[in-house]
Amino acid sequence: MLRVLLTLLVAIATWPAAAALPAEVGGEPLPSLAPMLEKVMPAVVNIHSRTVVRIRNPLAEDPFFRHFFGLPQMPRERVQQSLGSGVIVDAERGLVLTNHHVVEGADDIQVTLADGRTLSAEFVGADPDTDVALVRIPAQGLTAVRMADPDALRVGDFVVAVGNPFGLGQTVTSGIVSALGRQGLSGLGYQNFIQTDASINPGNSGGALVNLRGELVGVNTAIFSPSGGNVGIGFAIPVGLARNVMQQLLRFGEVRRGSLGVESQDLDAAMARVLGVASGRGAVVTRVQEDSPADRAGIQPGDVVVSIGSTAVTDRQSLHNAEGLLPVDQPVTVTLLRDGKRIETRVVLKARPREIEGARLDPRLEGARLGELSERMRQRGLRGVRVEEVAAGSRAARNGLRAGDLVVAVNGRELDGLEALRALTARQPARLLLTVARGPGALLLLAE
């Protein structure tokens, strides 16, 4: 290969300025991605979604106000449109992977194939916290891309991004894998991204990131861009994570996430001295929920979690991130520091509920439907339990709860989620004093 490239350089130096590249040099064909892309590009699609948004203006809806001020009949709806990409991963069933933000809330999803056909797509499901969505199109004459071994990808591997930037149509860019396991990006959910310098621009979202064998290694999802343009830092969802989300959406209609059943805080230098461990990174267990996976595995308050599975734990957020990305009902090794010693224990993560009826926790919460915060809300520093719905006239309504409230503490104890609320209410406290964040302020509600 080196000899061919040297021969090519010598040949280029002697060509006239207007000459075209030859098909071969010294009897050897020039390197080209074209044969691989001929197999991949039929599997990459353009996605056009339309969302009808109702516009509410109480004054404009008042007939007297419109008549008095001579206002014409105003449109009460507007249409939002989104352009993106997708990749066919199952030709027989017509399954297309894309990003959640490409089809979020869409009333109509149209998929345009590489051969020019435009098909109406059925929304199968989505997971906002990993930004993965799945749609289905009629399975006729489709081509799917093969999924790569998720453990085989390495930093430095060549990759190619295929998508629909700016609605221009299929576009190909190339680069390398710049980093693996990227997290800590603002505004995104559970994070375990492939970073690449292959150009990813608006409209590429949901498109394919493939290796030189034409195998899918990731689903393009985001760029880092202080200026709004491509600066060579793009991110893709690893194929292993995307496949796991797809399988759960097909099986359950939602993604079930695991939980160790612990509350934690960041390990700082002062806490490290108190616990007798070397100063470094990790998450300190502050509370272990009764009969949780962590409790059954012997994890104790004061333990410092430094890794879970193959993922290093650097702080409280990275522990939560790792929990959310691991499959439930499968054993995983958790590495701890306890009294300066390194300990490994096997834990089977159990699915945590996304929502629960308040009456199942405490009669004083009857009529309220409570839910976990989205990962994006947690990354904004929010903690607690969200009130999703309150039935009119219910006990929860009489106690002052409203839909949209954020219950951040009970009886002065901060909540980290539904499991923490379940543990507090299981003790059947005589008093149930709720600290509630509502809009820009906060208030106390005594549930009776």
pLDDT tens across 308-338, in order? 988 888 888 788 888 888 878 888 999 999 8
Among candidate residues 90, 127, 129, 131, the one labeled active-site is 131
Cβ proximity of 234 and 218 under 8 Å: no
Residue 151 is assigned to a structural domain of this protein: no
Residue 153 is assigned to a structural domain of this protein: no
- CATH number for position 283: 2.30.42.10
Boundary (domain end) residue, out of 136, 168, 183: 136
What integer pLDDT is reported at residue 421 of this predicted model? 87
Mean pLDDT rounded to a whole number for the chain: 83
Other beta carbons within 10 Å of 441:
7
Cβ proximity of 111 and 82 under 8 Å: no
101 in active site:
yes
Q: Count H helices, E strands: the chain?
A: 12, 30
State how many domains the chain has: 5
Instruction: Let me know if 201 is exposed, middle or buried by CB neighbors in 10 A (0-12, 13-18, 19+).
Output: buried
Residue 143 is assigned to a structural domain of this protein: no
60 or 395, greater pLDDT: 395
- The reply to whether 123 and 70 lie within a common domain is yes
Q: Where does 258-315 have alpha helices with state H?
A: 269-275, 293-296
Residue 147 is assigned to a structural domain of this protein: no
SS3 for 146?
coil
- CATH number for position 204: 2.40.10.10
Question: Kind and range of the H or E element at 219?
Answer: strand 216-223
Q: Give the span between the Cα atoms of 298 and 321, in whole angstroms.
A: 22
Residue 150 is assigned to a structural domain of this protein: no
Phi, psi of 64 (to 5 degrees): -65, -45
What integer pLDDT is reported at residue 164 of this predicted model? 83
Cβ proximity of 350 and 260 under 8 Å: no
Reported pTM = 0.73
Among candidate residues 82, 199, 205, 307, the one labeled active-site is 205
- The reply to whether 344 and 273 lie within a common domain is yes
**Mean pLDDT calculated for residue range 127-141:** 91
Q: Give the span between the Cα atoms of 290 and 284, in whole angstroms.
A: 17
32 in active site:
no
24 or 115, greater pLDDT: 115
| pLDDT tier for residue 15 given thresholds of 50, 70 and 90 | very low
- The reply to whether 106 and 55 lie within a common domain is yes
Identify the DSSP state of 64: H
Provide the residue range defining the domain that includes 25: 2-31
- The reply to whether 85 and 162 lie within a common domain is no
